[in-house]
Amino acid sequence: MKKQLFLYLLALSTSQVYAQSDVFDTGKISQLSQESKRGTFQNTTFDAFEIPEYKLDQAYIQKAQEEIATLQRVLKATNNLNQRTGTQHRLAEAHWEIERTVYLKQMERYQKNLDLYQSKKIKTKPTVPTFSGEKTFSYYKEIIKNNPRYSRLDEVLFYAGFRGKDAHQKNYHKYLQALVKKFPNSAYVPDSYFKIGEYYFDDRKFDEAIASFNQILKTPNKLHNPALYKVSWCYFNQLKFDLAKKVMQKVIENSKDVVSETDLRNEALRDLVLIYSELGEFVEADHYFTSIGEPEYAIKVLEQLSDIYFDQSRYDLAIKTITLLLKKVPLSPDAPKYHSKLIDCYDRSQRLATAMKEMNHFLATYEPESRWHRENIEVPVREYAHNRSEVYARFLATRYHEEAQKSEAQDPKKSENFALTAMGFYKKYFDRFSHHAKAYNLRMLYAELLFQYKRYETSAVQFGLVVKQNPKGKHAKKALVGQIDSLNHVETENYKKIQSIAEKKKATQEALPLPDTTTALINANILYVKLFPSDPNASKIYFQHAQLYYNYNYFDNARGGFEKVIQFYPDSDSADRSRHLILDIYNIQKNWVGVEKTAEAYLQVPRFATPKNKTLLLDLIQGAIFQQGKDKEDAKDYIAAAKTFENLVARYPDSKYADKALFNASIDYINADQSDKAIAVSTTFLKQYPNSDLVPQLMIALAAYFDEKLDYSNTARYYELYVSKAPKAKAAPDALFNAAVFREQLKQYDQALINYKEHEKLYPDSTDRETVIFSQALIFEKQNKYFPAIEVFERFAKTYGRKSPKSVEAYYHIAQNLIEVKQPANADAFYQKAIDMNKRIGSSDTANHYASKAEMALLEKTFKQYMRIQLTMPQSALERNIKKKYDLLKILKKEYIRIVKMNDPEVGINALFKLGLCYQDFSQALFTAPLPDNLSPEEIQLYQVELQNQALPIEEQAIESFESALKKSQQLNVYTQTAKDAYTQLSQYKPQDYPPVRFPLIKDLYIVEPWSSQYAGEQQ
């Protein structure tokens, strides 16, 4: 029994021959006449080919060959029948194992070579290896013939029968029949009957097969249920389906809860499904399988019946069966197959609308996010659902698209509805199947439909994906054109919204963000030219990509694009437009060298250099050179700028920029402090462009330059030229005034007078008129032309009177000039007019100054009279003169103090100095007074002491006056000749405090009190 159990377990690993296909092909099931149908479960003693893996190597073969060699030596060495038979038995087994090992290795090698051949990696088709088993069977036959009493003869007979089919032995079953006949009690008997039954089953002798299987059923053994299983299949092949069903149910009943027969039971359950399908009893099958706790097999019955009804074109029944099937197992791995067949049923029964509805249902039911998809993770199952979904999604999209086209002419609204539905299905298709092989053509249809209904942004994306999928495909060009057209529509609308902003930002060269659609259009343009460079529209399309960069202010990209248009399509209209825009870009970027060089190059292009364009290019060249000069000016490279401007005039003397260029060159030479070149270029400018509006500006600039250089002659000259060219200019009055002033400073008095007189004539309302008239009088005075001077001063005083503080000065100058012409008597009257006018005008430093000077002038007669009085004898004359001199001193002191209080620094210092001289003269007169006659020596001494006592206080007052004059001079920073004279006087009185020095050094002295306060009262 132990050996029989071992043999049965080995039988479970045998190869299987299936009675039906994976998809339950009922068409094949019905063809029972062609070949016998057998269950998938096979039961034999063991697999004749089974060899442990560890034996399948060279070491095992070598060991077996060594064993064979040993056994052959033993066989030759003995004549004992039983020993020889045993040795032959072992040799048979050894040869079988070696040959089968070699055969399996050959088969493995053959399979590898066959794969290489089928994949076209090798050219020669491999030869199928063969197996003979000839040596083994030669030993089997010799044993059976020569030793019928061999103790293991039943085993030899069994293996001869079991292996006979593989060794191509005819009637191999006879070995097994001999075994059961000669050895009815052998452990190999059940397996032999089973193998005999299979032999008759394969030979379609079902009654003989049943008889052999029934022999097994007569005694209890492990092959009881497998034999029943084979009997059921014999009845099935005899079309005795009821009997087959009952026997198979018996197998299922007997094998329940038998662990060793689990596989047999499962096969029986599956095969019973086939039997029920042949009977068409799906209700009974559902009842039966449910009753035994195996409801899933009822599903198999429904599967089989749905296939049968479908093959028989009984679509209504198939629909009902499949609908029930889907209701029972909606999450089954085979549910997509059921559902697909349901759709086929509707389609074949001319119910297309329902079929399409189910297709849509199919897509939703088995989509990747569905419950079914989550429950079914097997790759093949998911692949089937995916592939069928692709077919249905494609069909729905194209079908609705087709309907839209059909109804377009008759019913546009209906056509649009169909189109919108088609768009929806197209989108669903590409959401799931964008990488499918069919997607290429389908996407083209989708893109065209979107474009037709003005979904331009979406159509652009779809056309682009067509191109991306296969840039060399049959739709590539058409799709690329569609993408460009779609994006053009989008770009037109988008750019309208920002065009004004883009134009404004061109001045600052600020780029705007490129919309994604614009970038896509640029890329599409470039790709089109790359793929179809010779296309008639290629130049326009290539131009567009550069134009888009230009529109959004990406000027470097745009220029590069335009240059390539010119390079690849030089004689196209697009090239001409590109040339214009390249020049415009250089202009926007202020790349004046680029403008100049590019325009010069384009002048050499005959196609482009038309008369109109030639005029434009020349103007651009000249303007660019001019702007280069301006840039150099901005960089303060004035000499280089000037040379650039001169170069422009030299090359293009008739340029509209010529006068401006020479003007700028002059200014640049001025800024570079190149006076000679500035004058030379200015002279050329005046000569060549005397009527230029820039002449006045140049003259004023030159005047300012020479003024800064202290070259007053040229300054005056260019101011005068300026006025001659632009007498009505706003700056002309000031320019002419300055010219007169500079001429006066240069002592060119005649020209100065001309300028002043011209100014008075041209600009009567000028705010400088007062100064202009007064300056003329001063010049006459400097020329010693006193009468003309007096005339102008009088005209001035008459004209301005108390309105101008300078009227006081005018009166003073008249008096001075009268003195010069020896009319001192008349002079005093004008001094007095100056004093009186000052009182009428009020506070004015200028008026006060000349009024103070007039006061001093009028007091000068008294001062001179005082200084002429001498202390001489006789005594009466001496006393009289002392009194007279003292009286005049009091008058002078009073007047000088009054003048000091007028607070004019210069005149006040002079008054203090004059007062000091008065005191000094009086004290010296006392010190040197003559002695009276007839005085004794003692009296003389007393007389002199008394004179000294009288003279010393007066001398102190002289010193005090000189010191006050000097202190005030330092305090007010007024260092006049009078201050120097005061210091000289003090150095004689106080040499230690005021040592002799070279002026203008003056000792630091400080006056704390107001400078005239010490003279507030009359000094004693």
Convert the pLDDT of each residue in 748-801 to its tens digit.
999 999 999 999 999 999 999 999 999 999 999 999 999 999 999 999 999 988
pLDDT attached to residue 693: 82
Of the candidates 289, 350, 342, the residue with the CA atom closest to the CA atom of residue 317? 342
Of the candidates 916, 912, 1015, 1017, the residue with the CA atom closest to the CA atom of residue 968? 912
**Cβ–Cβ under 8 Å, residues 918 and 887:** no
Distance between CA atoms of 503 and 186, rounded to whole angstroms? 108
Of 304 and 833, which is predicted with more confidence?
A: 833
The pLDDT tens digits of the residues spanning 520-546 come to 999 999 998 998 999 999 899 999 999
- The DSSP secondary structure of 972-1017, one letter per residue, reads TT---HHHHHHHHHHHHH-TTTS----TT--------S-TTGGGSS
Q: Residue 1018 phi/psi, 5° resolution?
A: -75, 125
Distance between CA atoms of 882 and 789, rounded to whole angstroms? 44
The pLDDT tens digits of the residues spanning 684-695 come to 888 888 888 888
Of the candidates 695, 714, 694, 698, the residue with the CA atom closest to the CA atom of residue 706? 714
pLDDT attached to residue 15: 28
428's tokens:
């669903």
* Long-range residue pairs from 493-496, CB within 8 A, at least 24 positions apart, any chain: 494/518, 495/551
Of the candidates 822, 892, 898, the residue with the CA atom closest to the CA atom of residue 862? 892
Of the candidates 706, 690, 634, 620, the residue with the CA atom closest to the CA atom of residue 664? 634
Distance between CA atoms of 425 and 25, rounded to whole angstroms? 34
Distance between CA atoms of 254 and 491, rounded to whole angstroms? 80
The pLDDT tens digits of the residues spanning 302-347 come to 888 888 888 989 898 889 889 989 998 999 999 999 999 999 999 9
- The DSSP secondary structure of 908-935, one letter per residue, reads HHHHHHHHHHHHHHHHHHHHTPPPPTT-
pLDDT attached to residue 820: 92
**Cβ–Cβ under 8 Å, residues 638 and 701:** no
748's tokens:
């060119």
The pLDDT tens digits of the residues spanning 19-45 come to 222 222 333 333 333 345 666 565 544
Query: CA angle at residue 259 from 254 to 261, to 5 degrees?
Result: 50
Amino acid at 745: Q
The pLDDT tens digits of the residues spanning 461-482 come to 999 999 998 998 999 889 999 9
Please say whether the dihedral angle defined by the alpha carbons of residues 559, 562, 564 and 570, taken in this order, is positive or negative. Answer: negative
Least confident range from 48-52, 412-416, 648-652, 748-752: namely: 48-52
* 842 DSSP 8-state letter: -
**Cβ–Cβ under 8 Å, residues 593 and 624:** yes
Q: How far is CA 728 from CA 301, 660, 723, 897, in A?
A: 119, 22, 8, 53
Distance between CA atoms of 855 and 500, rounded to whole angstroms? 79
Please, what is the average pLDDT of the chain? 86
**Cβ–Cβ under 8 Å, residues 818 and 832:** no
Q: Tell whether the model's pLDDT for residue 709 goes beyond 90.
A: no
The pLDDT tens digits of the residues spanning 710-757 come to 888 888 988 888 888 889 888 889 998 999 999 999 999 999 999 999
Which of helix, strand or coil describes residue 823? coil
Mean pLDDT, range 155-160, rounded to an integer: 90
The pLDDT tens digits of the residues spanning 234-284 come to 999 999 999 999 999 999 999 888 888 889 988 998 888 888 878 877 778
The pLDDT tens digits of the residues spanning 181-212 come to 999 999 999 999 999 999 999 989 999 999 99
- The DSSP secondary structure of 469-483, one letter per residue, reads H-TTSTTHHHHHHHH
Of 178 and 10, which is predicted with more confidence?
A: 178
Q: Tell whether the model's pLDDT for residue 998 goes beyond 60.
A: no
pLDDT attached to residue 38: 61
pLDDT attached to residue 43: 55
pLDDT attached to residue 312: 81
Distance between CA atoms of 226 and 7, rounded to whole angstroms? 14
Where exactly are the structural domains of the chain?
Answer: 50-151, 313-412, 437-561, 869-1015
Q: Tell whether the model's pLDDT for residue 16 goes beyond 80.
A: no
Return the half-sphere exposure (C-beta side, CA atoms, 13 A cut-off) of residue 816. Answer: 22
859's tokens:
């007091």
Instruction: Using the structure block, give the residue that is written with the tokens 């018996």.
Output: 250
- Which residues 6+ apart lie within 8 Å of 980 measured at CB? 999, 1000, 1002
Distance between CA atoms of 666 and 698, rounded to whole angstroms? 8
pLDDT band (50, 70, 90) for residue 393: very high
C-alpha 449: how far from chain center: 34
**Cβ–Cβ under 8 Å, residues 298 and 277:** no
pLDDT attached to residue 30: 35
Least confident range from 33-37, 488-492, 637-641: namely: 33-37
As a whole number of Å, the CA-based R_g of the chain is 68
Mean pLDDT, range 937-945, rounded to an integer: 86
Which of helix, strand or coil describes residue 270? helix
Percent of the chain residues past pLDDT 70, beyond the cut: 92
Distance between CA atoms of 731 and 844, rounded to whole angstroms? 30
Q: Tell whether the model's pLDDT for residue 3 goes beyond 50.
A: no
* Greatest Cα pair distance in the chain: 216
The pLDDT tens digits of the residues spanning 130-142 come to 988 888 888 888 8
* 822 DSSP 8-state letter: T
**Cβ–Cβ under 8 Å, residues 846 and 808:** yes
437-561 folds as: 1.25.40
pLDDT attached to residue 37: 62
Q: Tell whether the model's pLDDT for residue 367 goes beyond 70.
A: yes
* H helix runs in 652-731, sequence order: 658-671, 675-688, 695-708, 712-725
Least confident range from 381-385, 421-425, 995-999: namely: 995-999
Q: Tell whether the model's pLDDT for residue 1004 goes beyond 70.
A: no
Mean pLDDT, range 806-816, rounded to an integer: 93
Q: Tell whether the model's pLDDT for residue 868 goes beyond 80.
A: yes
Please say whether the dihedral angle defined by the alpha carbons of residues 592, 593, 599 and 600, taken in this order, is positive or negative. Answer: positive
Amino acid at 797: A
Q: How many residues does the chain have?
A: 1020
Q: Tell whether the model's pLDDT for residue 1 goes beyond 60.
A: no
**Cβ–Cβ under 8 Å, residues 300 and 328:** no
Of the candidates 490, 404, 411, the residue with the CA atom closest to the CA atom of residue 455? 490
pLDDT attached to residue 862: 93
Q: Residue 110 phi/psi, 5° resolution?
A: -60, -45
Mean pLDDT, range 151-170, rounded to an integer: 87
How many CB atoms are located within 10 Å of the residue 332 CB?
A: 19
